[in-house]
Amino acid sequence: MSTGSKQTIREHEHSFLGSSHDENARRTRSVVALTFVMMVAEIVAGYLTGSMALLADGFHMATHAGALGIAAFAYAYAKRNAGSRAFSFGTGKVGELAGFASALILAIVSLAIGIESALRLVRPTHVEFGQATIIAAVGLVVNIVSAFLLSSGDAGHGHHDHHHHHGHSHGSDNNLRSAYVHVLADALTSILAIAALLAGRYLGWVWLDPVMGIVGSVVIARWAWTLMRDTTAVLLDKTDEHVADEIREILQSHGDAEIADLHVWQIGPEARAAIVSVRTRGDVTTDTIRARLAPVHEVMHLTVEAAL
């Protein structure tokens, strides 16, 4: 837009929230409420019945409720501050920070459950197998319903998205997908608890209950490590090699521009930022380079500079 001889330049926006941000936030809040009710029921029942496997499942569900609570807060915070100039590249990575915090909590709880289960294995306690089995079965149903709610969003199909010829997904919400994987882990520990309780009731295998508690602890620890690894990569601006390779391929195909320096990193669930420093020949300009890279749709914030 121009007025007389003056040109008004609109400042570049830095809102890089996922396209399903609001819907994913709503799904997350629903699952938080559902999970919290079941979490309380399982923990109370675990203490009353003496079942370590049920307690493990309850505490696992507690970490899930806590993680989802943090995720729900992160969605709200990111949305509220999406346009704030206080964040250089927007709030698209707030969900990753929430996921990292949840992973730390999970790791601590996993250790506590593992230690308590080991103690119960050495010194068995009385377990009300019938009551504990009923609660565990209800918990499994809640996990299945939660998984269905979350799988309807990005979490259930993000790994099938193919945005370009590299076949790598760039559009999924890691925050929601992590919650979905955690719900599946919850379902697994519920199944383990039910198996242990039934074996204890009908076969007299009392030792299987704390063993399943240990198995549940390992499942939680593995999930915590995976989430910590993935979120750390984003928080530390790890290079997105798939997008970087696509940029290199495009520029090298023309033969009149040499990449001197290249940085590509994630700034939101569906957004990448890139800084491309090039040495050009002939009449190739930075605008030319920018036009050539326009098809790389994952890059929402592109900086092109001429290298000396």
168-207 pLDDT tens trace: 334 456 667 777 777 777 777 778 778 888 888 788 887 8
Q: Residue ranges per domain, the chain? A: 20-157+170-236, 241-306
State yes or no: pLDDT of 90 exceeds 80: no
Beta bridge partners of 258: 279
Q: What is the per-residue burial (b if ≥16 Cβ within 10 Å, else e) of 130-139?
A: eebbebbeeb
The fold adopted by the segment(s) 241-306 is Alpha-Beta Plaits (3.30.70)
Contacts of 11 (CB under 8 A, 6+ apart): none
- State residue 277's pLDDT score: 92
Rounded Cα distance between 18 and 16, Å, is 6
- Find the range with the poorest average confidence among 22-26, 113-117, 215-219, 223-227: 22-26
Q: Rounded to 10 degrees, what is the CA torsion of 184, 185, 190, 193?
A: 150
CATH code for the domain defined by 20-157+170-236: 1.20.1510
Q: Are 20 and 172 in contact (CB under 8 A)?
A: no
pLDDT tens-digit series, residues 122-180: 887 666 777 777 777 887 888 788 778 777 555 544 433 333 433 333 445 666 777 77
Residue 114 amino acid letter: G
**Integer angstrom CA distances of residue 237 from 17, 23, 162, 230, 279:** 17, 26, 22, 11, 25
HSE-CB at 50 with a 13 A cutoff on CA atoms is 13
Rounded Cα distance between 62 and 153, Å, is 23
Mean pLDDT of 264-278: 86
Q: What percent of the chain has pLDDT over 90?
A: 7
Provide the pairing of β-strand 6-7 with 2-3. Answer: antiparallel
